Amino acid sequence: MAPARVLYTEGLDQSASVAVCIPSYNYQAYIVETLDSVAAQDLGDLELVVVDDRSTDGSVKAIEAWMRSKAGRFKKVSLLQTETNAFVSNARNVGVTHVRTPYVFMLDADNTLYSRCISRCLEALGDCDASVAYTLIERDGSASEPMMGHEVWRQGRMAYGNMVDTMALLRRDHLLAVGGYEDLLKTGGEDYELYCRFIERGYYGIQVPEILCRYRVHQASLSQNIMAKGGNAQSLVAELKRRHPWLKLEVIEVPFR
């Protein structure tokens, strides 16, 4: 894991229930809306950590200004920055190791949440021993077009492709037990690969059958750019099957284009 430094932090080291972890790289155009959706959660017991992966736009200034104005809403806020641009998996791991909460909600810097998202996921995990709680996801506010999360977690189904987005609530100790996120040669698919290791450890996920997350489609989207490059999708399939021979997938699909 690449080193990181603290650019800004405020709040006592109180034990929040959930930390929202956001990796950010050159998403100045979207990050404030994302952060606003976190501040609007109906769960008060939150910590927030944003890990900037050496952005070259105005993201860092925008995030710090937002945190200074909203710090009182959270138990603790932290803005970290990696020493080098080391890709999204590293940034997520930096955030996860920085916090001490029992749960972490993973959120990318260009997506947003409905206000009851985290509390509903926390309720779901509180009723069972699942490792992951996930919701239905819509595209850019279009509730008529759910993207992911509409299927109940089944190991057999996961063998043919991912059905759970990065946006999910995870038990932090389970995430650390499997080694966190891994960098798949910068081809994407880190969330799917993580869930494969969860399955191999005997962990499972639980669905919250409500549309509570919003996925933004845009030209700078990581998944759109990765899969648009020739050979990336095939390379990702090959790497996933090398790591997890029980997988039966043949193609990787981008949910929205």
The residues spanned by each domain of the chain are 4-243
Cβ atoms of 35 and 70 within 8 Å: the answer is yes
Q: State the Cα–Cα distance between residues 93 and 181, nearest whole angstrom.
A: 6
* Mean predicted confidence (pLDDT) in 170-181: 98
| φ, ψ dihedrals at 115, nearest 5° | -65, -25
pLDDT tens, residue by residue, 109-145:
999 999 999 999 999 999 899 999 999 999 875 555 6
Which segments of the chain are extended strands (E)? 4-10, 18-24, 46-52, 76-82, 103-106, 112-113, 132-139, 142-146, 168-171, 205-215
In terms of Cβ atoms closer than 10 Å to its own Cβ (0-12, 13-18, 19+), residue 179 is exposed
Nearest to 18 by CA among 118, 124, 168, 97: 118
Q: State the Cα–Cα distance between residues 207 and 81, nearest whole angstrom.
A: 33
Residues 6 or more apart whose Cβ sits within 8 Å of residue 195 = 132, 158, 162, 164, 205
pLDDT at 234: 84
pLDDT at 257: 38
Residue 185 has pLDDT above 70, yes or no: no
Q: Say yes or no: domain 4-243 is CATH 3.90.550.10.
A: yes
Residue 188 has pLDDT above 90, yes or no: no
Structure tokens at 174: 């389970």
Structure tokens at 118: 């985290």
Q: Tell me how many helices (H) and strands (E) the chain has.
A: 9, 10
Q: State the Cα–Cα distance between residues 201 and 110, nearest whole angstrom.
A: 31
pLDDT at 3: 80
* pLDDT band per the 50, 70, 90 thresholds, residue 86: confident
Residue 56 has pLDDT above 90, yes or no: yes
pLDDT at 199: 97
pLDDT tens, residue by residue, 232-256:
788 889 999 999 999 998 887 655 4
pLDDT at 88: 93
